[in-house]
Structure 1
């Protein structure tokens, strides 16, 4: 393998980081360490092929969700200094996670067409600033409903690991931060640099933006990644039920092809699996909330509380009211 110092000299990949209050430390660390290890040989940490700064409106320490603090290394320099500006989000318990100066800086960067990436819940910050309306976001399955509720009409998916849509990127967070950083390294530096970073991080391979988030609704086992993506979509749409044709089209299949896949792997139809997922969501609501039955029925796509209650009894051996009473 060629030494990175033998590579054709090029302008380093430059990334600016903006850390929100209560940001996720692991996502930030994995992203920046992938850049660090790709920038120099083995583990020397020289900033040869990549460089980065933590940007801040003040020099004050920024506290992560786990309590570890990080100091900014630069003030808000010209956004054009960076190939990408990455916004690292964290806890969603506050609307005010960045100050007005930081908001204005991100809007300035967007106006100058500098690519912006939302890491973990950093995508919520970009959306709150009106910077994601025309761009598809990729968020964790854990945050999907919150994103849809806060930003109705914004395109979003929770089946993939990360996404780059023109001048906007988004990433589900966690270990996928390394996958997205590796993608940028491969694009701007080289495959050798990517491989060097991943080997030191003990990561066997970088997953692509087409890989599926590791989520198994109802612990349903399946091997085909297209089925995994469909199951996640079903879980995320229990109220506004997605027609089978649309589910199939979302993974590049016809309805008949999707039905055949379900029968091969699960020995049943997409409709039956979808109903199971919706009813399990209803069972959780019965046990965990005090919502009226009609509200629960509507939440999982039923217009009639009586129809919902009959199906519930057939599946679980007792009515929703009986189940709730038994747990009190």
Structure 2
């Protein structure tokens, strides 16, 4: 059992982590390392300005999403010891079993007015505990459809990195956890400590919660489960071209059947949908990164810059280079690929 780090006087920022089985490693490590680097001078890692505790329902070791085992965990402590309690969710599966003891603990913390933070799939636990009624919650684009289908009464937000709703904070996960941790460090310790952490982590600047996720999410609900699976595959292969034959093979259906389903659901072909999705990703990259037009076209799976620029102008009415010259306030909001030239069936 580690020493009780809370025996010393209260520090500016104290955080309790509730780690669920198969918790996702990257958002956890990004969050806690931002705290660690802000807690002491240099990289000495002493819990001076920030303190944290790793907890599980039974106080035993817990296995992460990549198989690494987290040791040194403790039983759930009194919520009032912490300024925030962060729940790190696990990998989702069809037969997920809820950790009732952890859910009871989150409810207890809420009744005692301790702010709760759901990171990655940790937001699912906040919902399961009944703590998100009437609230929006930030979730990764990758889990947007999972949350919407499992909890239709909850409004998932997948167009930003994190959301601060006072006593409930939710984060999409991934490296965005470092942005949220930095936001809290700045709130409690000051900007210099927050910047110090990010610089050591080789992160140039903190991103605000409203910063969009680097992924063109398809928000529209699609009734056909096979079309939803196809969309998910397209989202995961933005830099490559999946032929309809290859996609149909992965889905265990025929090309003709897949094309028919896309026509019925979206009014366009799978090829057209995939191209528009990649163009939308290119729009995001042009707006929020400094990559060259050539690099962005390549990242979006187009064979050359001219090909990318031509299709981009057809979709958005301006060229990629012209987008870069416009102030952000003058740029048109991104539209779902469903509505880019619907009915134009010319495939790439």
Output the TM-score relative to the length of structure 1.
0.67
SS at 2:345 equivalent: helix
The equivalent position to 1:300 in structure 2, one of 266, 283, 291, is 266
Aligned to 2:327: none
Q: Would the alpha carbon gap of residues 113 and 205 (structure 1) be closer, same or farther in structure 2, given more than 3 Å must change?
A: same
The equivalent position to 1:236 in structure 2, one of 173, 195, 219, is 219
Deviation at 1:295, TM superposition (A): 5.4
Aligned to 1:247: none
Deviation at 1:292, TM superposition (A): 7.4
CA contact (8 A) 1:38 1:193 kept: yes
CA contact (8 A) 2:20 2:56 kept: no
Distance 1:294 1:210 in 2: 38
Structure 2 unaligned spans of 5+: 1-8, 224-240, 269-337
Length, aligned pairs only: 247
- 1:204-251, CA deviations, whole angstroms, 9 ceiling, x for partnerless residues? 111110111111x4xxxxxxxxxxxxxx3xx221549xxxxxxxxxxx
Aligned to 1:115: 115
Q: How does 1:1-328 map to 2 (within 5 A)?
A: 11-94=11-94, 96=96, 98-215=98-215, 217=216, 232=217, 235-237=218-220, 239=222, 289=251, 290=253, 296-297=262-263, 299-300=265-266, 314-316=345-347
Distance 2:97 2:41 in 1: 36
- 1:96-128, CA deviations, whole angstroms, 9 ceiling, x for partnerless residues? 455222121111112222111111111112112
Distance 1:210 1:43 in 2: 30
Q: Would the alpha carbon gap of residues 297 and 53 (structure 1) be closer, same or farther in structure 2, given more than 3 Å must change?
A: same
Distance 1:296 1:72 in 2: 50
Distance 1:149 1:107 in 2: 24
Structure 1 unaligned spans of 5+: 1-8, 218-231, 241-279, 303-307, 318-328
SS at 1:211 equivalent: coil
- 1:21-70, CA deviations, whole angstroms, 9 ceiling, x for partnerless residues? 11111111110010011111111112111100011222321000111011
Distance 1:81 1:95 in 2: 34
CA contact (8 A) 1:285 1:296 kept: no
Deviation at 1:288, TM superposition (A): 5.1
RMSD, aligned CA: 3.0
Deviation at 1:192, TM superposition (A): 1.2
Deviation at 1:10, TM superposition (A): 7.1
Q: Would the alpha carbon gap of residues 125 and 76 (structure 1) be closer, same or farther in structure 2, given more than 3 Å must change?
A: same
Q: Would the alpha carbon gap of residues 207 and 95 (structure 1) be closer, same or farther in structure 2, given more than 3 Å must change?
A: farther
CA contact (8 A) 1:42 1:197 kept: no
- 1:265-285, CA deviations, whole angstroms, 9 ceiling, x for partnerless residues? xxxxxxxxxxxxxxx99x798
SS at 1:60 equivalent: coil
